[in-house]
Structure 1
Amino acid sequence: MELNQVFEYRGWAIKYALLDPIREPGLQSNDFKTAVFVHGTPWSSVTFWPIAGTLLANGSHRVLLYDLPGYGNSQSYKSIESHVKEKDQTHFEGDTSVRFQAEAFSELLQHLKFGGKNGNRAPEVIAHDIAGAIALRAHLIHGSLFSSLLLMDTNTVLPWGDGFYKLVRSEPKVFLQLPDGIYEAMLRAVIRSATFNSDKLKADWEELLAKPWLTGIESAPERQEQAQKSFVRQIAQANDEDVAEMLDKSMYSQVSCPVKMLWGEHDQWIPRQKMESLASMLGDALKEFVVIPNAGHLIMVDQPERVAIEVFSWLSER
């Protein structure tokens, strides 16, 4: 699925695709609900391609896919005078923090008239990993309205990250200096650790997930250097305060749409107790909490059919 449209926002060229379903004659795009897929880190919208494709074929929803600023096909950033401050204490240009991602997501929804404001229909949002925090900030702080929210293996409870994640945050300059081969081996190890069955990655998944962070590794070393910098940046700029703000103000209990949670029972990135903690804080907004067997953090890779069923059943109820 090609992200063939661009939303320019604060120096970033955010690539997205708004796809219409297979529909009967006479029906218009606005006759359909919209499902918005928001990926996590260090992924891109490719994680949702199979589910999005099946949903489009089902003919019930339009689909919005996009790559977060700094990820996938949205790594293009042009610093302009009014955004000089975007170069923060981590010495990276361009903001990829959860705080900024939530702002950009909210603005993208408004740009496409999907924010649930001014008479526009609110979308169904499906968010994986860090996108859960992004979607919740967009909803609770920026006022974006959702018809429903489906959270997959999402990290919205502190502390964030494992030992590797914390090490990159504390020493980003070291990881910028890794030789190409060592960097690639590290990246692939990170990807494999997100699955329960790494054999599932052999069906081109590993290459699709690694490609944005390895672009031009043989033919254009300067592009590889920029891709490596982008990978390190999105970890280095992770800021606990972006989630702490919502936790300290007990904001999760204020979610105004129905919520469903999915979690892979073998997720080594997000412990079950964190998902259960989020579940308790959501209160009555939480309608379902489903544990997916034989699945790791990338549940849509480990158990694509089961995850598709859970997504479709949820959306069909709305």
Structure 2
Amino acid sequence: MTAASQHDVALTQSFDYQNATHSFTIKWGSIGDPASPPVVFVHGTPWSSRVWVPYALALSRKFHVYLFDNPGFGDSPLERKLPNTPDSADEVTRLDADLARQSEVFAALFKSWQKEWGNRAAHVVAHDHAGLMTLRAHLLHSCQYASLCLIDVVAIGPFGQSLFKLVAENPGHFEQLPDMAFEGILESYIRQAAFYNLPKETMDMLKAPWLRREDGKSGFVRQLCQANSRNTDAVESRYGEVGQKMPVKIIWGAQDDWIPVETAWRLEKALNAKEVSVIANAGHLVMCDQGAQLGTELGIWLAIAAFGSS
């Protein structure tokens, strides 16, 4: 079990991975009894594993919970291009985090944990672009889950936010923004994801990874470029296989302004999901808007999926 305080889950472990073009270091941590059923939380953009900490702490009484930061998010550094790998002439491609690469790294990390689990499979909880990451890892990289819970996820088109398109068309302009202007855009972007006004401490927690890093500004621009291109073509036609192999639950904020709630029902049909829960008075950041209700939904779902009862 990794070290954790009463109010935190420390990402004290490192996982290194390399493919033909890039190398990666992922910071991760776990909490709970290693003999308990494993649960893996996967964050989206522009968030970090911090959004999952309250749920990890609560569930660690009955589960072995894993948290990690995706490449370039939170405590994990940006991926590093290997020597002699040619630079792209296209500015957006240079900045693009590439969900296909992130999914590949997640799959490798997930499989490294499997060695600890023996014959057990992990329950996976994903938010935002982590939905597509976990689906790609399952369908393209053979990661097997005991269950899958998808919360306001990027997984099925069409997509679109004007800011994604604007940044993708002018990435260099945004990288050159003064720090004060950058923080203003970042805060406005985060605020749009919530239904209620976020408390200062919550806003500061969500902004902090981008403000404290030397590469925070370019990293944020990079993930917005990535958000404009979703890498769904390789898997969307295969979604029907997912619900046949594992129970799938979909949770959505009724007032999600980023990905409308109608997407939940389309995704339910595409994945053959077991159930959909829509949470009222919640936006895309449902864990901040309705944390208690989300916690109840997760607790019941995981209790049934892991132990066969609530």
**Aligned 8 A contact 1:115 1:122 in 2:** no
What whole-Å deviation, never above 9, does each CA across 1:169-202 have from its counterpart, x for those lacking one?
222112111111111000000111111001x433
The answer to whether the 8 Å contact 1:115/1:144 transfers is no
2:166 corresponds to 1:162 = no
Match in the other structure for 2:301: 314
CA drift at 1:287: 1.1
Q: Distance in 2 between matches of 1:122 and 1:232?
A: 35
Distance in structure 2 (CA, Å) of the matches to 1:307 and 1:186: 28
1:201 aligns with 2:202: no
Assess if the C-alpha contact under 8 Å between 1:123 and 1:148 holds in 2. yes
Aligned AA for 1:273? Answer: E
Pairs aligned (count): 291
TM-score, normalization by structure 2? 0.88
Q: Where does residue 278 of structure 1 map in the other structure?
A: 267
Residue in structure 2 matched with residue 7 of structure 1 by the alignment = 15
User: Are 1:146 and 2:145 counterparts?
Assistant: yes
**Equivalent AA in structure 2 for residue 105 of structure 1:** F
- Secondary structure of the 1:7 match is strand
Offset, 1:241 = 5.8
Question: CA 1:315/1:12 → structure 2, altered by over 3 Å: closer, same or farther?
Answer: same
Give the CA deviation at 1:239. 6.0
CA distance in 1, matches of 2:217, 2:165: 17
Alignment of 1:1-318 (within 5 A): 1-10=9-18, 11-21=23-33, 29=34, 31-56=35-60, 59-81=61-83, 84-85=85-86, 89-90=90-91, 96-113=97-114, 120-198=119-197, 200-202=198-200, 204-215=201-212, 223=214, 226-238=215-227, 240=229, 242-247=231-236, 250-255=237-242, 256-283=245-272, 286-318=273-305
Task: Name structure 1 gaps, 5 residues minimum.
Answer: 22-28, 217-222
Q: Is the 8 A contact 2:95 2:221 kept in 1?
A: no
CA contact (8 A) 1:43 1:209 kept: yes
Residues 97 and 222, structure 2, Cα contact 8 Å, conserved in 1: yes
* Contact 1:214–1:227 (Cα < 8 Å) also in 2: yes
Provide the secondary structure at the position in 2 that maps to 1:96: coil
Structure 1 position 7, deviation (Å): 0.5
**Structure 2: distance between partners of 1:243 and 1:314:** 27
The CA distance in 1 between the partners of 2:186 and 2:207, in whole Å, is 7
- Residues of 2 paired with 1:78 and 1:72: CA distance? 16
- Aligned partner of 1:26 in structure 2 is none
1:313 Cα offset (Å):
0.2
Deviation at 1:75, TM superposition (A): 2.1
For the structure 1 residues 317 and 142, does the alpha-carbon distance in structure 2 shift closer, same or farther, using more than 3 Å as the test? same
Q: Secondary structure at the match of 1:64?
A: strand
- Normalised by the length of structure 1, the TM-score is 0.86
CA distances 1:43-80 after superposition (whole Å, capped 9, x unpaired):
00001011111111xx2100100000111111244433
Q: Say if 2:268 and 2:275, in contact at 8 Å, map to a contact too.
A: no
Report the CA distance shift for 1:88/1:101 in structure 2 as closer, same or farther (over 3 A): farther
Deviation at 1:301, TM superposition (A): 0.5
Alignment root-mean-square deviation, CA: 2.0
CA shift digits 1:92-134 (9 cap, x unpaired): 7686211111111110011122698xx5421000000010000
Displacement of 1:32 in angstroms is: 1.1
Q: Percent same amino acid at aligned positions?
A: 37
